[in-house]
Chains A and B, each alone.
Chain A
Amino acid sequence: MLDAAHRISALDVPNAYAKHSFASCELSLLQIGRFQDEPHKGQIYFNNNHFEHAMHSTVLLEARLEQASLLKKVVDAIKDLVQDCNFDCNDSGIALQAMDNSHVALVSMMLKSESFSPFRCDRNIALGINLSSLTKVLRCAQNEDILTMKAEDAPDVVNFTFESSESDRMAEYDIKLMDIDQEHLGIPETEYAATIEMPSTEFQRITRDLTALSESVSIECTKDGVSFKCSGDIGNGSVTLRSHTNVEKPEQNIEINLSEPVALTFSLKYLMNFCKASGLSSSVKLCLSNEVPLLVEYGLSNNSYLRFYLAPKIGDEE
């Protein structure tokens, strides 16, 4: 039965329909949803025993975002760390993982399929995109536009459509894809000694303030609270935060979970880079353990996230 179906090419679907009475075969959607073996011949869908041949038969990925601002902000936040990277698309969503040139920081993004409506990805595919090109194209979208990302099978471009939610304006852009040789690195699951959740604006402010004084910050977390200290040419500074719960404005909460005290030093330049993601989420989570990279996580809706890892600086023993 499947064999018969396999022989149907996209072009002679009507004929095939005439010759084989599929109704009698009682094909179910489960049995043949799509022909993965013959991706070039298009996707044929069987709905209630009659099938329709989609016009965009070769579209492999289609992801629609209600608000273009999400992708705009994500790309803005990472474009200074990474130049080119692969967007790995599969049926669970779109993921991105890249290390910066100097191997000091790592970006890991996951946009779950639930963040899109609808989301369709028929096969795992890696779209190699130059982020500065992507930024250029995303600048053409307004924050409230509906964004649709499309890619065909074996694509050489990725297509972006921006539809205005108010008017009938529709803009379409293609970005040429690149062949990026990128290894997928496994990030070890780590249990962190300290987890600090705070408003992302607060973290941004601390980072910005301390950058004026020094190029590195030492983050010290004890049961009393967390302090960000720096010392530079002109003097030194420190900001201390304590656990704090605001019932009226829960986004102002500061939550500190600690299993053992930690103290680590990080480059402020990188942290400044990470803070560009502040617009994505009202709160940010910092996870620290001694001798382990810092994790800065911006949680997005539907379990999507944008994570940054940063290797610490340590004292030179020599």
Chain B
Amino acid sequence: MPSLDSETTAPSSTPSREEAIFSDEATRPTTPPSSPPGFPWERVQQKQDATSENAITQSSPPRKNAFSVLGKRKALEDVSDNGPPRKQSKTIKTKDGASRMVQMQMSLGQEVQKRCAQCGMEYTASSAEDRKLHDKFHKQNVEGYDVGKDFVSKTLQTNRLPRKFDGVKDGDAIVLLDCTDPWQRKKKGQAVLEIVQKELGAVEIPEKDLWETKGQATDNPKFKAYLYIRGTKCIGFVLTERIKEALEVVQPEDVTAKPSQSTKAKTTALAALQARKDAERQTLLEADKRPLQLSHTPSPAQLGISRIWTSPTHRGQGIAKCLLDTALTHTKSCHYFDLVKRVELIHNSAASPAKKGAKKNEAKQIYHPKIEMKESDVAFSQPTESGARLARRWIGKPYGWLVYID
């Protein structure tokens, strides 16, 4: 029963994010975490080295300056992890005089902060702790987030709709996560979302909004996340949102449909088809280069793609398209179930004549999901460049698809 009211209240549950804007184009494809910028003396040292290099080499070098260089820094852990780890008793560290020694590091003006070319993280290369952090981030970034081996098999079982779908390859799975999942699973979804947000440069969605259950139909929550799992890694992710309206992407005025030159020189049907396909591809490519222009009047929409992401090493395999297809079919069946439920409700309320009028009205007002949902009913929240490319390819037209402001 409470599910009925929820329809009206739910959209207003996220007023704080309404004005949120995120830049479409991040300066870097990813904004990885970085370790604190070294140690002040290192920077200074480097500068000094640069300026005093000549001075030192010319004047007979005072011995101390030769490797002046020796910087003191307490190793965060045992000094190196190249060798096998050695056990050490704690008593040595505290009591013994000799063990109160601190390992120096060499500093010949080498780079202290290192930036990984692949994942872009900046870290202090000489610190074992930092390197470990980087390794973790790097792996996550390159291979996808590790959800654990039980994640797919422990997908919530419901008697209504499936929550597990097939991926593009054998053994891959797409798993649905929503507010009905236990918190451990939600947490994993949250972790993936965090990676995705970072890479998209997107505004954070507050946790309480994401898994909002209050006053919502648990069968059809506002946010749904679909995780694409290959092996134990989550390599694709889509977060969908129930929306009502969106804006159409319009064709910029200066782009007019070119008169097809091929009409005259048509020889065979095959050639014509080929020509048309080429032309379509051309317009798609051209559209990709232009900024999106939106219409001013909203059009109705059903499903909002809030965030969509594929792990950088797994792109070009149709994972995002597969996720979109899955989200669409699943939403369709959700809507169907909704309808069935509502019809039942109306029947029930019809049995108790006192409330009859009110309930019917409410149902009429609130209820409008289309069962016949198509790709064109899906809207994308401000897409990135690659997001727009995906949307165009998936919907199959360069203009006329929907974008919504979240």
Q: Does A183 contact B (CB under 8 A)?
A: yes
Question: Cβ of B83 and Cβ of A292 under 8 Å apart?
Answer: no
Annotate A282-318 by CB proximity to B: 1 below 8 A, 0 otherwise.
0000000111110000000000000001011111100
Question: Cβ of A233 and Cβ of B64 under 8 Å apart?
Answer: no
Inside 8 A of A293's CB, which chain B residues have their CB?
67, 70, 104, 106
The CA-CA distance from A289 to B65 in the complex, in Å, is: 11
Inside 8 A of B57's CB, which chain A residues have their CB?
188
Q: Does B63 contact A (CB under 8 A)?
A: yes
Q: Does A257 contact B (CB under 8 A)?
A: no
Q: Does B110 contact A (CB under 8 A)?
A: yes
The CA-CA distance from A230 to B57 in the complex, in Å, is: 36
Specify which of A104, A190, A230 lies most central, judged by the most chain B CB atoms within 10 Å of its CB: A104
- Shortest Cβ distance from A179 into chain B, in angstroms? 9
- Shortest Cβ distance from B63 into chain A, in angstroms? 6
Annotate A90-103 by CB proximity to B: 1 below 8 A, 0 otherwise.
00000000011111
Question: Cβ of B83 and Cβ of A269 under 8 Å apart?
Answer: yes
The CA-CA distance from A106 to B108 in the complex, in Å, is: 10
Specify which of B61, B86, B102, B131 lies most central, judged by the most chain A CB atoms within 10 Å of its CB: B102
> How many residues of chain A get a CB closer than 8 Å to chain B's CBs?
46
The CA-CA distance from A315 to B95 in the complex, in Å, is: 13
Partner of A214, one of B70, B91, B98, B109: B98
Q: Does A218 contact B (CB under 8 A)?
A: yes
Inside 8 A of A100's CB, which chain B residues have their CB?
80, 82
Inside 8 A of A67's CB, which chain B residues have their CB?
none
Q: Does B72 contact A (CB under 8 A)?
A: yes
The CA-CA distance from A1 to B126 in the complex, in Å, is: 55
Q: Does B107 contact A (CB under 8 A)?
A: yes
Partner of A292, one of B63, B92, B101, B117: B63
Partner of A311, one of B89, B92, B99, B106: B106
Across the two chains, which residue of chain A brings its CB closest to B96?
A231
Q: Does A248 contact B (CB under 8 A)?
A: no
- Shortest Cβ distance from B75 into chain A, in angstroms? 7
Give how many A-B residue pairs fall within 8 Å (CB-CB): 134
Q: Does B111 contact A (CB under 8 A)?
A: yes
* A interface SS class: loop
Q: Does A254 contact B (CB under 8 A)?
A: no
Question: Cβ of A267 and Cβ of B79 under 8 Å apart?
Answer: yes
Q: Does B325 contact A (CB under 8 A)?
A: no
Inside 8 A of B64's CB, which chain A residues have their CB?
291-292
Question: Cβ of A265 and Cβ of B105 under 8 Å apart?
Answer: no
Q: Does B292 contact A (CB under 8 A)?
A: no
Q: Does B299 contact A (CB under 8 A)?
A: no
Inside 8 A of B69's CB, which chain A residues have their CB?
188
Q: Does A273 contact B (CB under 8 A)?
A: yes
Question: Cβ of B89 and Cβ of A188 under 8 Å apart?
Answer: no
User: Given A233-B89, A267-B79, A292-B66, is A104 in contact with B96 using a C-beta cutoff of 8 Å?
Assistant: no
Question: Cβ of B110 and Cβ of A183 under 8 Å apart?
Answer: yes
Q: Does B56 contact A (CB under 8 A)?
A: yes
Q: Does B181 contact A (CB under 8 A)?
A: no
Q: Does A187 contact B (CB under 8 A)?
A: yes
Q: Does A224 contact B (CB under 8 A)?
A: no
Question: Cβ of A292 and Cβ of B67 under 8 Å apart?
Answer: yes
A-B contacts besides A188-B67, A190-B66, A267-B79, 6 pairs, CB < 8 Å: A102-B80, A102-B126, A183-B111, A188-B56, A231-B98, A291-B70
Sample 8 A-B pairs with CB under 8 A, ordered by A number: A101-B81, A104-B79, A215-B88, A269-B79, A291-B64, A292-B66, A314-B102, A316-B100
B residues in contact (CB < 8 Å) with A? 53, 56-57, 61, 63-67, 69-70, 72, 75, 79-83, 86, 88-89, 91-92, 96, 98-111, 117, 125-128, 131
The 6 A-B residue pairs with the shortest CB-CB distance, nearest first, are A313-B101, A103-B126, A185-B108, A190-B66, A311-B104, A103-B105
